[in-house]
Amino acid sequence: TFKVLRVLDGDTIHVSGEGLTYKVRLVGIDAPETGYRNKPAQPFGKASGSHLRSLVGGETVRLKSYGIDRYNRQLAEVFLAGTNINLEMVRSGLAEVYQGKRAPGLDDASYLHAQAAARQSGIGMWVQGAGYTSPREWRRQNRESRSSKNWDGFSRFLRWAKRLFRLAVQSD
């Protein structure tokens, strides 16, 4: 069992147990983005994080691990008193079924069924109808501006380094 230390957003938590602290990505789901680096939050991003916090914040949970992702997060289904929290997030309309590569061994049939029901009922983020953008697409759309911002920072660094080099050469 693991104690939930912090809920980072609608699909990521920090837990401690067995003498270690882990960052856990709720496997099989993708929640709206909460905004970072001065970026606006995706619609329902804050609500998704708040809902997950209300479900597991400070609680003792059980994890069913599916390995580690490329960001070194534990991929896991999170259970509280026998309830699959990942599935609850999809049922509540505050997360969708993850559209990327499936974790080996994860049966996503119940997730897909829950998503279809939430979408049909128009609950949570599904109330947006045709205006809905998946978290995956939202990240793709916002990646360009993030990388151009990084490039601007790198360009400023190069200009600074050039000036510094010129000053060093002039002083010799």
Catalytic residue positions, numbered: 25, 33, 73
In this structure, what is the dihedral angle of CA atoms 7, 29, 74, 4, given to the nearest 10 degrees? 30
Asked if 124 and 90 count as a contact pair (C-beta separation under 8 A), the reply is: no
How far is 1 from 47, CA to CA, in rounded Å?
26
Environment class of 112 (CB within 10 Å of its CB; exposed 0-12, middle 13-18, buried 19+): middle
Rg of the chain over Cα atoms, rounded to whole angstroms, equals 20
Q: Give the other-Cβ count within 10 Å of 153's Cβ.
A: 10
Q: Which of these, 73, 68, 64, 71, lies nearest to 14 by C-alpha position?
A: 73
How far is 78 from 63, CA to CA, in rounded Å?
5
